[in-house]
């Protein structure tokens, strides 16, 4: 079997188009422009790339983009003041504090200082609790994008067995919760899971979110399963003509061997990544609509 490629890039473009239409209506009919504020502390290169990309796409869908770039030695009090001011700014409907934060800052404290209604990442403890009890919440963007692709490809997920590899608060745990809310039978596997290949082999749906390049092998995959690869890992890929090192992006799945067995698979790049930003924009519009009744 050769897997169907789930095109996250095209899907994300469609979602961003819908968001742009919604934004245009909010402006025309209600005179409201949704606004997203992104806070970046320090100069982590990967975070800078994400933040730039988020800002660009926010503007492209017609929303207001507010960027707060703070020095790496920013104090917790100063960061909390920025969050507090954004909470009280009526032009800001969504707030995202880019993670990871430098070690001297307490991420939980900072995230929980965000107004839950503006927490477009869905990381605030109130939103985690609401999602965990099946109530209306802000849903974390990467799991939400993954769920949208699964529903689009499979239709109903009810009764399917799903294995989520990875137990992070950002992806693994909320992903498992979403799949459970869609009536999957869910297993959360992780680095200490005994005989991981056998566990993964039971799954109709595999979501790989471990952060280990090309770990999941084709012979771990049940034939016909749907594989969502959340990993974005940069690995060495030899040298360029000028002798400088070359790198490439790979997922947590060994793409070729998994694609040979799976029914469908998301590529890296061009799978989950673009959906994450599209869902962030969609969450910002949702937050704006809820704030304005």
Check binding of 99 to ligand GUN (CB under 6 A).
yes
* Residue 220: DSSP 8-state: G
**Quick one: 121 or 254, whose CB is closer to ligand GUN?**
121
Q: Which part of the chain contacts ligand GUN (CB under 6 A), choosing from 54-62, 79-87, 93-101, 182-190?
A: 93-101
- Between CA 88 and CA 9 the distance in angstroms is 35
Nearest residue relative to ligand GUN (C-beta): 99
Check binding of 98 to ligand GUN (CB under 6 A).
yes
How near is the Cβ of 42 to ligand GUN at its closest, in Å?
A: 13
Check binding of 182 to ligand GUN (CB under 6 A).
no
Check binding of 179 to ligand GUN (CB under 6 A).
no
**Quick one: 51 or 184, whose CB is closer to ligand GUN?**
51
Check binding of 120 to ligand GUN (CB under 6 A).
no
Estimate to the nearest angstrom the gap between the alpha carbon of 86 and the chain centroid. 22
- Between CA 234 and CA 108 the distance in angstroms is 27
Q: Binding site, residues?
A: 166-168, 232
**Quick one: 12 or 203, whose CB is closer to ligand GUN?**
12
How near is the Cβ of 229 to ligand GUN at its closest, in Å?
A: 15
Q: What is the dihedral of CA 221, 226, 229, 230, to 10 degrees?
A: -130
Residue span 135-164 as binding mask against ligand GUN, x where in contact by CB under 6 A, dash where not: ------xx----------------------
- Between CA 89 and CA 223 the distance in angstroms is 51
Is the Cβ–Cβ distance between 37 and 96 less than 8 Å? yes
Q: What is the DSSP string of 161-227?
A: EEEEE---TTTHHHHHHHHHHTT-EEEEE-TT-TTHHHHHHT-SEEEE-S--TT-B-GGGSPTT-EE
Phi, psi angle pair for 237, to nearest 5°: -140, 50
Tell me which H or E stretch contains 236. Answer: strand 233-239
Determine the Cα angle at 222 with ends 220 and 226, to 5°. Answer: 105
Phi, psi angle pair for 69, to nearest 5°: -100, 115
Check binding of 252 to ligand GUN (CB under 6 A).
no
**Quick one: 20 or 99, whose CB is closer to ligand GUN?**
99
Tell me which H or E stretch contains 257. Answer: helix 255-259
Check binding of 286 to ligand GUN (CB under 6 A).
no
Tell me which H or E stretch contains 165. Answer: strand 161-165
Residue span 258-277 as binding mask against ligand GUN, x where in contact by CB under 6 A, dash where not: --------------------
Number of residues that bind ligand GUN (CB under 6 A): 8
Active site residues: 54, 98, 121
Q: Which part of the chain contacts ligand GUN (CB under 6 A), choosing from 64-72, 76-84, 94-102, 247-255?
A: 94-102
Check binding of 170 to ligand GUN (CB under 6 A).
yes
Residue 217: is it exposed, middle or buried by C-beta count within 10 angstroms (0-12/13-18/19+)?
middle
Check binding of 51 to ligand GUN (CB under 6 A).
no
Residue ranges that bind ligand GUN, judged by CB under 6 A: 96-99, 121, 141-142, 170
């Amino acid at each position: 079997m050769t897997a169907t490629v789930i095109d996250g890039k095209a899907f994300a473009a469609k979602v961003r188009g819908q968001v742009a239409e919604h934004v245009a209506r909010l402006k025309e009919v209600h005179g409201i422009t949704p606004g997203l504020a992104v806070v970046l502390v320090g100069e982590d290169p990967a975070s800078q790339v994400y933040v730039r990309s988020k800002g660009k796409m926010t503007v492209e869908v017609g929303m207001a983009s507010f960027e707060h770039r703070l020095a790496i030695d920013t104090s917790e009090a100063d960061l909390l003041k920025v969050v507090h001011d954004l909470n009280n700014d009526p032009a800001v409907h969504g707030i995202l504090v880019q993670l990871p934060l430098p070690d001297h800052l307490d991420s939980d404290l900072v995230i929980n200082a965000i107004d839950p209604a503006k927490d477009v990442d869905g990381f605030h403890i109130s939103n985690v609790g609401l999602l965990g009890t099946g109530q209306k919440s802000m849903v974390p963007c990467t799991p939400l994008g993954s769920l949208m692709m699964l529903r689009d490809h499979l239709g109903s997920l009810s009764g399917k067995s799903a294995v989520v590899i990875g137990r992070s608060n950002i992806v693994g745990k909320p992903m498992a919760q979403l799949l459970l809310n869609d009536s999957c039978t869910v297993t959360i596997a992780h680095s200490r899971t005994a005989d991981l290949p056998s566990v993964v082999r039971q799954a109709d749906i595999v979501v790989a979110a471990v952060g280990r390049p090309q770990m999941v092998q084709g012979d771990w995959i049940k034939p016909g399963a749907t594989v969502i690869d959340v990993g974005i890992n940069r690995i060495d890929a030899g040298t360029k003509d000028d002798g400088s090192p070359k790198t490439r992006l790979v997922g947590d799945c060994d793409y070729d061997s998994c694609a040979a067995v799976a029914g469908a698979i998301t590529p890296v790049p061009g799978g989950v990544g673009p959906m994450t930003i599209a869902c962030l924009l969609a969450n910002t519009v949702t937050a704006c609509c809820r704030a304005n009744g």
